[in-house]
Amino acid sequence: MNIAVLLRAVPDPVEELELNEDETDLDRDYLGYVLNEFDDHALEEALLLKEEVGGTVTVLGLGTADEVDQMLYTAVAKGADGAERLGSDLGPLDAHSQAGLFVEALRQGGYDLVLSGVQASDELDGQVGMLVAAGLDLPHVSVVVATTPADGALRVTKEYWGGITADYDIRLPAVLGIQAARQAPRYVAVARIRQAQESDSLTEIDVDPPAPSSGLRVTAVRIPEAGEGAAMIEGDEEAAADRIVEILAAAGVG
């Protein structure tokens, strides 16, 4: 089975975000980017499938070299057979533009399966995985938490809520949005990432920056006031502990 995994860089979810001067976007000058956590799960699921049935895993990354190369090399160190970076200086792209670039690259690849993270935190105009499925006119299942290979098809487990899941058989080629891999994404030693960097495993693919096509324009962004609704407790941890014990007592607890 030849599998493509779509990797995106997103603003680090644990970092404090700042806005640009005219408050229409994040201030991206000092923003830290990390691999979209759901894409990391998509990669893990792809590697597990490859271990089970053979084939190849190719990772496709979008973004500047700074943001993406480390993620692509890490994927190679974990077991991906090839890595492609689409473009080199594209700047922030909306989900439709990302999907359009991925669709072009995927058409060249002849993949049996495309895995993408179920969502990314900046996908204002839709989930890239499902837009790719629409662009390639391929069957899709999203919010997938497990896959099991079967003859010419794949059994996938889709999650609803409260632990309720549904199984589907999906004919290949297909696109899956991965919510969580069967196991936590594997770690890889830094030495192996360095090895991957020294190999010629990364291919750069020239693409033209796409014109925005989502039909959406962000006119203003804001960071909602912290504690809009909450009474914020002031002071150090001792003061906070005193106050929380009072709150618990008032709620009939503790």
Partner 1 sequence: MDTLVFAEHLQGSFTDSTYELLALARRLGGNVNAAVIGSDIEDLAGTLGGADTIVVVDDPALAAFNPEGHAAVFAALAAERTPQIVLVPYTSQGMEVAAATASRCGLPLVSFTQEIRADGGLEATCRLYAGKVEADVEIDGDRAVFAVLSGAASADDRRADGAGVVELVASPVDLSGLAVSFAGLAEPEAGDVDITAQDVLVAVGRGIESEDNLEEAQELADALGAALAASRPIIDQGWLPKDRQVGKSGLKVTPKVYLALGISGAPEHIEGMRDAATIIAVNSDPQAPIFGVAHYGWVGDLFDLIPELVDRLE
Instruction: List the interface residues with partner 1, window 54-83 (CB under 8 A).
Output: none
What span, in angstroms and rounded, lies between the C-alpha atoms of 127 and 17? 22
Q: Within 81-110, which residues bind partner 1 (CB under 8 A)?
A: 95-96
What is the smallest separation between the CB atom of 200 and partner 1, expressed in angstroms? 33
What is the smallest separation between the CB atom of 250 and partner 1, expressed in angstroms? 8
114 and 130 Cβ atoms separated by less than 8 Å: no
Considering the complex, state which of residue 164 and residue 189 has its C-beta at the smaller distance from partner 1.
Answer: 164
Nearest one of 137, 43, 135, 143 to 97, comparing CA atoms: 135
Find the part of the chain contacting partner 1 (CB under 8 A) among 1-9, 69-77, 78-86, 120-128.
120-128
The label of the residue with tokens 């906070």 reads 240
Considering the complex, state which of residue 19 and residue 193 has its C-beta at the smaller distance from partner 1.
Answer: 19
115 and 141 Cβ atoms separated by less than 8 Å: no
User: Amino acid letter at 35?
Assistant: L
Question: CA distances (Å), 82 to each of 102, 105, 166, in order?
Answer: 15, 13, 32
Q: Does 115 bind partner 1 (CB under 8 A)?
A: no
54 and 91 Cβ atoms separated by less than 8 Å: no
Sign of CA dihedral 28, 30, 36, 37: negative
Considering the complex, state which of residue 83 and residue 93 has its C-beta at the smaller distance from partner 1.
Answer: 93
Q: Does 141 bind partner 1 (CB under 8 A)?
A: yes
Q: Within 196-235, which residues bind partner 1 (CB under 8 A)?
A: 214-233
Considering the complex, state which of residue 192 and residue 243 has its C-beta at the smaller distance from partner 1.
Answer: 243
Considering the complex, state which of residue 3 and residue 146 has its C-beta at the smaller distance from partner 1.
Answer: 146
Q: Does 21 bind partner 1 (CB under 8 A)?
A: no
Q: Within 150-179, which residues bind partner 1 (CB under 8 A)?
A: 155, 157-171, 174, 177, 179
Considering the complex, state which of residue 110 and residue 224 has its C-beta at the smaller distance from partner 1.
Answer: 224
Q: Which of 52, 54, 183, 204 binds partner 1 (CB under 8 A)?
A: 183
Size of the residue set binding partner 1 (CB under 8 A): 86
175 and 114 Cβ atoms separated by less than 8 Å: yes
What span, in angstroms and rounded, lies between the C-alpha atoms of 254 and 249? 6
Find the part of the chain contacting partner 1 (CB under 8 A) among 13-21, 62-70, 107-115, 187-195.
13-21
CB contact set of 226 (below 8 Å; sequence gap of 6+)? 232
Q: Return the SS3 of 25.
A: coil
